[in-house]
Amino acid sequence: MSHPPPLRGDRTHKNEIVRVAELTVNTSLIEDLEFSNCRIVGPAVLAFLENVTATHCTWDAPGLDAVFWEVPPERGPVVGVVGVARCVFSNCVFENIGIAGPPEMRAMFEKGFTG
């Protein structure tokens, strides 16, 4: 079931500090949102599920090993992560945010990781 993010009717965040905890008050899924020039603040571990793009983004981490949590596909669902679907992140800074995903997703992050 889809829930709108709390405290907002707008689906676009620009030049804002966005706390993952505020987006997930009523759900563990962030969906159908656009973030531009935002600081995305955790603590949180995100799982990019479908149609998520992150371009020109940076991470406040010493390297990809600190950010990426590898989850083999055969493991099945992972409890406690925040799912992300149909979202766009452009020119964002991720602070205290990890990413959970399969090995092939790590390979995509390696190409564009800026820590």
Which residue is associated with the tokens 């009717």?
Answer: 9
Per-residue pLDDT of the chain in tens (115 residues, 90 and over written 9) = 344 444 456 789 999 999 999 999 999 999 999 999 999 999 999 999 889 988 899 889 888 888 888 888 787 777 889 999 999 999 999 999 999 988 888 877 776 555 5
> Given this model, what pLDDT does residue 24 score?
94
**Structural domain includes residue 2:** no
What pLDDT shows up at residue 38? 98
The total domain count for the chain is 1
Please check whether residue 4 lies inside any domain of the structure. Answer: no
Give the range of the structural domain holding residue 91, as residue numbers without chain letter: 12-112
Q: Specify whether the CB–CB gap between 99 and 109 falls below 8 A.
A: yes
Q: Please indicate, yes or no, if residue 108 is contained in any of the structural domains.
A: yes
Per-residue confidence (pLDDT) for residue 5, from 0 to 100: 44
**37 within a domain of the structure (yes/no):** yes
How many degrees, rounded to 5, is the angle at CA 9 between CA 50 and CA 27? 50
Domain contains 3: no
Sign of dihedral through CA atoms 8, 10, 13, 14?
A: negative
Confirm whether 5 is domain-assigned.
Answer: no
Q: Is the peptide bond before 6 cis (omega within 30 degrees of 0)?
A: no
Cis peptide before 43 (omega within 30 of 0): yes
